[in-house]
Structure 1
Amino acid sequence: MDLITGIESTDLFGGNVPSPVLQLIERTRGGSNDDVAAALWTAVLSYPRCLPPYYLLYKFHANRGELGEAQEVATKALAVAARQASLDSDWCAVQPGDTDFTIPGPGRFWLFTLKALAFISVRRGERAVALKLIAKLRRLDPIDCIGLDVVEALLAQSGSR
């Protein structure tokens, strides 16, 4: 299913994506990597409060192995989502109960993006950072709504190399 226009989008982002953003995203289908990057950056810069383009952009960079860029975009996405969810700008200071992370919207997106940062940290070999992020995620999401097991498995695998 299409993450931006399908059920997963509503479950994660909690709202509709503005039509101009959808048009920019549509331009990425079948385009070159440069075209995809340009369209997604345009969407992020033109609609800085719209969360889905951040997700697509950090995932695009991560999939290409551009982990520094992915981390930069995810960090920006985390800040935008924190403001929208009225969360502390320092992820370390966020506590269970600061928002309901189980309902669609900026809080859930924030949590999902924190998971992305943990994943990126594992892939970058930043084990201590990844462990800190995972511990925070386990505390904020004890029932594991976001599928943290995947990141933990990757961390365990990277530790056995």
Structure 2
Amino acid sequence: MNLLTGEVSRMLFGEGRLPAVVRRLLEEAQAAPPAQREALLWTARASAPDSLAVYYLLYKHYATQGEVLEAERAARKGLAEAARQAGLAADWKRVLITQADFAQPGPARFWLFTLKALAFLRLRAGGVHEARELLAKLKELDPQDSVGGDVVKALAEATAPKRRRKI
């Protein structure tokens, strides 16, 4: 499946079109080995810093390579760009459900999806406290769990140390 076309793409990124040069770079990145893919993705980001699809592909690339901190860095950049485009607060903790329609395709929806990704990445990096804060914000903004935050929450609960009961 090509993430840049079809329903998944429209649900995350809206109807925006990628410039031809960026589309070409992303198509090359898809078939490239990891080191070359990374360079192509950052070139695409430099060419179109407002393209949310590029941020998604960057954090997905790093996560797939097991480079969790780099994935987190790319996700935070994507979160910031999506917040700017959606008119949301730069600090994710200050975002309110009334500030955007998170169910509609576009920057606010991508922001919500990336918040979930960031929670997962924080969990993998050992940042359990912040992962839980991110998941609480996600639940507040997406009570119907339309982006699948409950999956990350279940993972967080499964990896949490079990408390011993006092006898």
SS class of match (1:49): coil
Corresponding position: 1:19 with 2:20: yes
Deviation at 1:138, TM superposition (A): 0.1
In structure 2, what is the equivalent of residue 94 of structure 1? 95
Mapped pair 1:116 → 2:135: no
- CA RMSD for the aligned pairs? 1.2
2:31 corresponds in structure 1 to 30
What is the TM-score normalised by the length of structure 2? 0.92
Q: Distance in 2 between matches of 1:17 and 1:44?
A: 11
Which residue of the partner structure matches residue 165 of structure 2?
none
Deviation for aligned residue 1:19? 2.1
Q: Residue type of the partner of 2:159?
A: S
The alignment's TM-score, normalised by the length of structure 1, stands at 0.96
Q: How many residues align?
A: 161
Partners of 1:141 and 1:7 lie apart in 2 by 20
Aligned partner of residue 97 in structure 2, secondary structure: coil
The aligned runs of 1:54-93 (5 Å cut-off) are: 54-93=55-94
* Larger Rg over CA atoms: 2
Identity of aligned residues (%): 48
- Paired with 1:79 and 1:30, the residues of 2 have a C-alpha distance of 28
The structural deviation recorded for 1:30 is 2.6
Deviation at 1:160, TM superposition (A): 4.9
**Partner residue in 2 for 1:4:** 4
**Any idea what the Cα deviations from partners look like across 1:133-160, whole Å, max 9, x if unmatched?**
0000000000111011221122122215
Could you list the runs of 5+ residues in structure 2 that have no partner in the other structure?
Answer: 163-167
